[in-house]
Amino acid sequence: MKYKVFVTREIPDEGIKLLKKASNVKLEVYEQDKKIPRGVLKRRVKGADIILSILTEQMDAEIMDAAGPQLKMIANYAVGFNNVDLEAAKLRGITVTNAPNEQISESVAEHTIALMFTLAKRIVETDKFTRAGKYKAWGPQLLLGTDLWGKTVGIVGTGRIGSGVVHRLHDGFNMNVLYHDIKRNPQLEKETGAKYRSMTQLLKQSDFVSLHVPLLPSTRHLISTKELKLMKKTAYLVNTARGPVIDEKALTRALMKGEIAGAGLDVYECEPLIDCDPSDNLELRTLPNVVLTPHTASATLETRQVMSRVAAQNILAFIRGKIPPNKVT
């Protein structure tokens, strides 16, 4: 049997090459390196046995039904899978996989720390200041930032990425580590001296708060007005997890009022929009104490190739009658 595999956007070639080598795979890739229009997606998935989906494409009941009853697998090109309706997939007997890998975790951990440094050292502000020709002379109080060395970092979620951030900051910058998770992490405590705290304690005591939790009903707006008021006025908030974990309106108000020192965001509540409601005059992009990146925490050549390979390996395992290594449901 030939399996028709439809890829919803061009991805790095390592996974594509693996799929092309398989004699029982008929591969079709959306030709443009941009989000596929919904109507086009519905047409192109028709007759597909397997969809290799990108995080930006909603794999819901409508798309599954548009593909047809022969659809048996959705391989998501991402660690997260909140773009896939798992219940709809279960009802239709569709296997869903994601693409986690240690390389991905390392890249996101590095990006998280890059955001912390950019905020603490005011890199974006100082770059703009210098490019604008405003630098006339060195001054003892010119654009003062803060150090990470010896400060306290609060990590919310200590999976691979959160733990990676902890090790780098503790080992490299002598930071005190507080963490909060649904369960204790004895190994992390032993290796780094990390101390478990309630969410309230962590927010009150941390100089930097970094979020590393999946998007679930329980984590939506995990950080909102109440939580932001608990943080130090000198504290920074970093999010490389999922946008809706933070209530962006509440965050923008807190930043405008100086309730926290700044925020570094790689993900957004209404992504790809940076502003959910343009009419409310709460615009993150206008604030100097915010660093914004376009969901690029895992955007390295090495990582994106690994993701491509992992997604393809999941597909190849499935068509060989094996359980995919990264089966979600």
Residue 65, helix vs strand vs coil: helix
First to last CA, the chain: 23
Q: How far apart are CA 16 and CA 113, in angstroms?
A: 32
Rounded to the nearest angstrom, the gap between the alpha carbon of residue 172 and the centroid of all alpha carbons in its chain is 23
Residue type, 120: A
- Separation of alpha carbons 90 and 329, rounded Å: 7
Number of CB atoms found within 10 A of residue 86's CB: 15
Is 242 annotated in the active site?
Answer: yes
Given 170, 180, 242, 309, which residue is catalytic?
242
Of 14, 189, 191, 271, catalytic: 271
Indicate the residue type of 137.
A
In the set 167, 197, 220, 295, the catalytic residue is 295
Indicate the residue type of 19: L
Locus of tokens 């798309």: 63
Residue 228 one-letter amino acid: L
Could you tell me which of 21, 84, 18, 100 has the C-alpha nearest to residue 51? 84
Query: Which residues are the active-site residues?
Result: 242, 271, 295
